[in-house]
Amino acid sequence: MKKIVISLYLIVVTLNTSCAQEIENKVSEVENPPFTAELFIDNLQQPWGLNFMPDGAILVTEIEGKILYVKNDIRTEISNVPDIYRRGQGGLMDIALHPKYSENGWIYFTYASEGEGEEKGGNTTLMRAKLKDNALVEKQLLYKATPNTTKGQHFGSRIAFDNDGYLYFSVGDRGDRDVNPQDITRDGGKIYRLNDDGTIPTDNPFVNSEDAKKAIYSYGHRNPQGLVKNPETGEIWNHEHGPQGGDEINIIKKGANFGWPLITYGINYSGTPITDKTAMEGMEQPVHYWVPSIAPSGMAFISTDMYKGMKGNLLVGSLKFQYVENVIFENNKVVKREKLLPEIGRVRDIKEGPDGFMYIAVEGKGIYKLVPNK
């Protein structure tokens, strides 16, 4: 019976013509890789996010609750980190610098926290702070998703700033797909937009909707672990984990519904269908989807000429297959996928450094610098 269900599902996907693109299922093997991965920071267990300081240091988060300041091969653990709710996929997650960090010193990070109240469990939280004497100071809680839950899945969470200085961050559906993603009065399964101080922009799409979470910018997401500004267009792009199949790349739009779980190109892990619909009126189609899933985490556009012929491409980490995927676009349609660094490990984050090199965080190993091959 399972084989029949899966076969019928694949037929539905194959016949569907409403998708923004026809899926490219094959990822090409590259005979002459464009770069070599050189270990830059070693001995990291579960690095989740990384970012670059103006003084040349790198900030690295580890999911267990550490922020490391690494410069000239010397690593310093930052103190006064908030209490972390460590459960399942939740812990200390992404980290980002304010676009005007050199002027104001603000560092932003997402993490799972218990928060106040009697609700057991935790949920995704956004905080900002400044760094002084290797400690976080002036900590400000900007957003705490509710309610808490003891479920260990789908916390998200990534941070990105747009060209106007608005802050975007993601929260997964927290394992409650039938309630959270489609309900704008609830947190979970959303991309949020805030002013840099945590206040709500007056032009957010649901500021005038009764009982809505005013910070929501888009909804109908599953577990977004990629969020980045396209340097050419200024658009905010995300990717998110599907179930079995149906990982997605999306261009985030104001007030848009991205459909989860009412539409999806994935199925349950048991092999049963979630829905027979891959498209519905009023719901966005992905720019690209993966079947089978690659379990994407971390993403970055290449904006420099450091890597010959790759400017404008999107690098995506694969947790499941343990490689870096080079996604090549033409007019926002995927025309080719390439598997780079096969068996490098579980790639958790990817960032372009101020030096123009790409850096990747790999679980159980550390941070690699991608050095172009001659």
Whether 221 sits among the annotated catalytic residues: the reply is no
| Helix H or strand E encompassing 13 | helix 2-15
Of the candidates 98, 154, 241, 288, the residue annotated as catalytic is 154
Contact (CB, 8 A) for 46 and 348: yes
E strand map for 254-309:
288-290, 296-301
Contact (CB, 8 A) for 255 and 228: no
Residue appearing with tokens 């909804």 = 219
Contact (CB, 8 A) for 238 and 170: yes
**Quick one: 116 exposed, middle or buried, by C-beta within 10 A (0-12, 13-18, 19+)?**
exposed
The conformation of residue 159, written as its DSSP 8-state character, comes to: E
128 conformational bin, left if phi > 0, alpha if psi -120 to 50, beta if neither:
beta
| Alpha carbons 260 and 20: distance in angstroms, whole number | 16
Name the β-bridge partners of 109: 95, 127
| Alpha carbons 48 and 159: distance in angstroms, whole number | 12
Residues with catalytic annotation? Answer: 154
